[in-house]
Amino acid sequence: MRRVAVIGVGVTKFGRHERTSAELFAEAAADALADAEMPASRVQALYYGNVVGGETEKQLHTGPQAASVLGIPTVPTTRFETACASSHAAFRHAVMEVASGASDVVLVGGAERVLNVPTADSTEYFAYASDASWEQTLGLTFPGVFALVARAHMHKHGTTEEQMAAVAVKNHRHGVLNPKAQFRKEITLETVLSSPKVADPLKLYDCCPFSDGGAALVLASEDVARTARRPIWVLASAAASDWMLLGDKRDLSRVPATERAAAAAYRQAGIGPQDVDVVELHDCFTIAEIVATEGLGLFEPGAGGIAAEKGWTSLGGKIPVNPSGGLKAKGHPIGATGAAQICEVVTQLRGEAGARQVEGARRGLTHTLGGNTATVLVSLFGRD
């Protein structure tokens, strides 16, 4: 297997857009190609993440559409849908294509447009990533899923609402430093704790927003990457799955798929969590970040809330988590999220993150969760 590097990244501003998801992806992809100093004619394959294009844009065949808008209609395209982990899954398969020798240059990313439909509709569409036979018919949406996770974690480990709120405060503080973030304003602990309840114990500021946006990156084989200005090497990329139904999960305070994907990624890279300098992880809800820091081995089970409360995951802390602002402040255009996380880690490892730069970062980790914890992708990156 050949070594693979990321040689170009591009991300749109997240928030409300009046353009299609294909147009948003094309903007990010053009930026990624320019960053890589690579003409679009060099791209040999496109791997693309999109989730609700059929519902919000009446567009199912989104891969060729994205390639067409970008101006490379004859490039083979594959669309991935693994709920919120879609473009991270696309990335993993693109890595395998380059590593195998099938292609030397592959474009990968994703996009989503959901703010063109009412909130009630987008909430329903997101819930399609849960079981249709039982959970959807009973009215369970994702705030309810993670409220159950929060209650389980609180019961087992004593995690508090204040500790969850600390995650929101931290990620909004980081988001202020990110010009592409949807929310660029600081909030206080009291703001979070006094905000309206969405699904007890989760409140409005415990929840990430709906977002439009796109993200893209250029992958290259080692021979091509060696001629690039700033290659960041893919050290590992692993996937894991778990039971779909919540009722089949034995312990809602854990995400076993995160634990399995992380273990596989560390094994591939030959490193451990203690070797990671910066992390972009899936904080769709504040409790999700706490559970993920534990599942990734950054903290012992039950210590994730304490870590957030004590500032260990803040910029300047023991292990900075979500310096981009995370899904909570940067935004969560679901088809683009995984690719955007990778773009942030690459930017960090290049030393180009500006005010949110993690000093001396050499190795980074991305973690993306899909649906009701049934899909997880974990990837590791490093610079020479």
The domain segmentation of the chain, as residue ranges, is 4-118+211-232, 131-209+235-382
pLDDT attached to residue 153 = 98
**Residue 365, C-beta contacts closer than 8 angstroms, at least 6 positions apart:** 265, 276, 278, 279, 280, 281, 296, 345, 378, 379, 380, 381
pTM across the whole model? 0.98
Selecting among 84, 208, 284, 343, the annotated active-site residue is: 84
User: What's the pLDDT at 381?
Assistant: 98
Distances (CA, A) of 143 to 41, 199, 222, 363: 43, 6, 43, 32
All residues at 6 or more sequence positions from 109 whose CB lies less than 8 Å from its CB, including other chains: 10, 25, 28, 29, 32, 47, 48, 49, 87, 90, 214, 215, 216, 217, 336, 339
pLDDT score for 380: 98
pLDDT given for residue 1 in this prediction: 87
**How do beta strands 363-370 and 77-80 pair?**
unpaired
Contact (CB, 8 A) for 40 and 14 = no
* Sign of the torsion angle spanned by Cα atoms 156, 161, 167, 168: positive
Mark whether 84 is an active-site residue: yes
Q: Which of 88, 174, 332, 367 is catalytic?
A: 332
- What is the predicted pLDDT for the residue at 384? 80
Q: How many whole angstroms separate alpha carbon 270 and alpha carbon 157?
A: 31
The per-residue pLDDT for range 33-44, each reduced to its tens digit, is: 999 999 999 999
Residues of the chain with pLDDT under 70: none
Of 2.40.280.10, 3.40.50.12170, 1.10.3230.20, 3.40.47.10, which CATH number belongs to 4-118+211-232? 3.40.47.10
From the list 112, 32, 19, the residue with the least C-alpha distance to 72 is 32
Q: Please say if 282 is a catalytic residue.
A: no
Q: What is the pLDDT of residue 42?
A: 97
DSSP state of 133: T
131-209+235-382: which CATH topology? Peroxisomal Thiolase; Chain A, domain 1 (3.40.47)
CATH topology agreement for domains 4-118+211-232 and 131-209+235-382: yes
Choose among 196, 171, 57, 61: nearest CA to 117.
Answer: 57
Question: 365: which 2 tokens?
Answer: 């980790």
pLDDT of residue 268: 98
The DSSP symbol for 323 reads T
